């Protein structure tokens, strides 16, 4: 195949199901491709890649390159990076994008290093200007923003912060060419092996969640998360937690939001019994709407929140759960 220019988007998936961040990246890629006047190609590796490639096209890709091979069934950095590196070398795209999920961040960083190319990491805004990518990237624990500029005329990589960009509309009528490519590494060239996997207990992952209900020291103990989970269930929300509650052993670390936990950007973040220390804010300040429930009217969380209830969370939470259940008809 002769080298063509274009925009590549790597589609992150787990067990044959794409992450919402992958479609957000297709949406951003569509805009960048249109502004550069080049085609948008989705890259899908691993399980169910043909079906996912069809979906990528329906979300806005012009075509797709797929590789479904036993060596790619589980994501591993070596075979994925080798394949992405080869596709980049063969096609010399202008831009390579992916959602800034754990896999997307490490894969694009690795492939950018292989290509000796620039990477704009974890961006919240992105556009192309005279062939160069210009992006906004939060720095210093999200306390300030930086403007990054890539190098025009060579391949530029960028990862897109999860939920910072809208999900594009799906058009089932869209069609495009899907081309299968061979893997680069054979099984005996790969030194890593996935031994086992234990799925997370939370049904809704923090990174993808549209709504998060999060508990802090105010919940008082492990059993204090029960009314939080009940509210989260009614809302189809993920459960989050402050560092203090994780350190106290009330809830597993996987739920920690903040400086040494996860950074999240839901549409709605309900902070329950969370004072709102600056380290917690680092993980949730980009939520679109913040609701604070706290018995202390002077808690710093009220400075960040749009809506607040001052009161006893053990009375407020069941009342909220009940009110949402009635209004949402659940």
Q: Which of residues 80-119 bind other proteins (CB under 8 A)?
A: 81, 101-102, 105-110, 112-114, 116-119
Element (H, E) at 86: helix 77-91
Considering only residues 151, 167, 169, 222, which one is a binding residue for other proteins as defined by CB under 8 A? Answer: 151
Q: Does 213 contact other proteins by CB under 8 A?
A: no
Measuring CA to CA, which residue among 263, 273, 262 is closest to residue 302?
273
Name which of 39 and 300 has its Cβ closer to other proteins: 300
- Show the binding pattern over residues 218-247: x = contacts other proteins (CB under 8 A), - = does not: -----------------x------------
- Show the binding pattern over residues 175-194: x = contacts other proteins (CB under 8 A), - = does not: ----------------xxxx
- Tell me the site size for other proteins, rule CB under 8 A: 96
Q: How near is the Cβ of 40 to other proteins at its closest, in Å?
A: 22
DSSP code at position 235:
H
Considering only residues 150, 168, 218, 224, which one is a binding residue for other proteins as defined by CB under 8 A? Answer: 150
CB 146 within 8 A of CB 131: no
Q: How near is the Cβ of 72 to other proteins at its closest, in Å?
A: 15
Q: Is 83 exposed, middle or buried (0-12, 13-18, 19+ CB in 10 A)?
A: buried
Considering only residues 131, 142, 220, 300, which one is a binding residue for other proteins as defined by CB under 8 A? Answer: 142
Q: Does 200 contact other proteins by CB under 8 A?
A: yes
Measuring CA to CA, which residue among 19, 262, 290 is closest to residue 142?
262
Q: How near is the Cβ of 200 to other proteins at its closest, in Å?
A: 4
Q: Does 312 contact other proteins by CB under 8 A?
A: yes
In angstroms, rounded to a whole number, what is the distance separating the alpha carbons of residues 155 and 237? 38
Biggest CA–CA distance in the chain, Å, is 67
Q: Are strands 211-215 and 238-241 parallel, antiparallel or unpaired?
A: parallel
With CB under 8 A as the contact rule, which of the stretches 46-54, 64-72, 120-128, 168-176 interacts with other proteins?
Answer: 120-128
Considering only residues 153, 222, 253, 296, which one is a binding residue for other proteins as defined by CB under 8 A? Answer: 253
Encoded tokens for 97: 């994008």
Q: Does 127 contact other proteins by CB under 8 A?
A: no
In angstroms, rounded to a whole number, what is the distance separating the alpha carbons of residues 5 and 21? 24
Name which of 58 and 156 has its Cβ closer to other proteins: 156
Q: Does 141 contact other proteins by CB under 8 A?
A: yes
In angstroms, rounded to a whole number, what is the distance separating the alpha carbons of residues 221 and 200? 21
Q: Does 254 contact other proteins by CB under 8 A?
A: yes
Distance of CA 168 to the CA centre of its chain: 15
Phi first, then psi, for residue 132 (nearest 5°) are -100, 140
Phi first, then psi, for residue 6 (nearest 5°) are 165, 180
Considering only residues 183, 261, 273, 276, which one is a binding residue for other proteins as defined by CB under 8 A? Answer: 261
């Amino acid at each position: 195949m002769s080298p063509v220019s274009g925009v590549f988007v790597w589609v992150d998936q787990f067990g044959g199901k794409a992450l919402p961040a992958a479609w957000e990246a297709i949406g951003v890629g569509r805009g960048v491709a249109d502004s550069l006047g080049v085609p948008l190609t989705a890259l899908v590796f691993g399980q169910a890649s043909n079906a996912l490639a069809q979906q990528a096209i329906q979300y806005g890709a012009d075509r797709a390159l797929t590789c479904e091979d036993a060596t790619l069934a589980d994501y591993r950095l070596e075979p994925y990076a080798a394949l992405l590196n080869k596709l980049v070398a063969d096609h010399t795209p202008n831009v390579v994008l992916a959602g800034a999920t754990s896999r997307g961040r490490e894969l694009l960083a690795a492939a950018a290093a292989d290509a000796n190319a620039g990477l704009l990491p974890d961006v919240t805004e992105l556009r192309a200007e005279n062939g160069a990518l210009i992006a906004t990237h939060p720095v210093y624990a999200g306390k300030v923003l930086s403007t990054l500029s890539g190098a025009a005329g060579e391949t530029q990589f960028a990862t897109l912060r999860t939920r910072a960009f809208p999900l594009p509309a799906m058009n089932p009528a869209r069609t495009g060419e899907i081309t299968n490519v061979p893997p680069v590494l054979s099984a005996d060239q790969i030194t890593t092996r996935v031994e086992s996997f234990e799925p997370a207990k939370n049904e809704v992952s923090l990174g993808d969640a549209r709504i998060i209900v999060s508990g802090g020291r105010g919940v008082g103990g492990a059993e204090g998360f029960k009314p939080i989970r009940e509210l989260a269930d009614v809302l189809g929300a993920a459960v989050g937690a402050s560092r203090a509650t994780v350190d106290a052993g009330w809830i597993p670390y996987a739920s920690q939001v903040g400086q040494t936990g996860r950074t999240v950007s839901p549409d709605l973040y309900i902070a329950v019994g969370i004072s709102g220390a600056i380290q917690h804010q680092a993980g949730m300040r980009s939520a679109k709407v913040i609701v604070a429930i706290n018995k202390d009217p002077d808690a710093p969380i009220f400075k960040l929140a749009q809506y607040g209830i001052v009161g006893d969370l053990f009375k407020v939470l069941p009342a909220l759960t009940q009110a949402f259940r009635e209004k949402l008809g659940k």
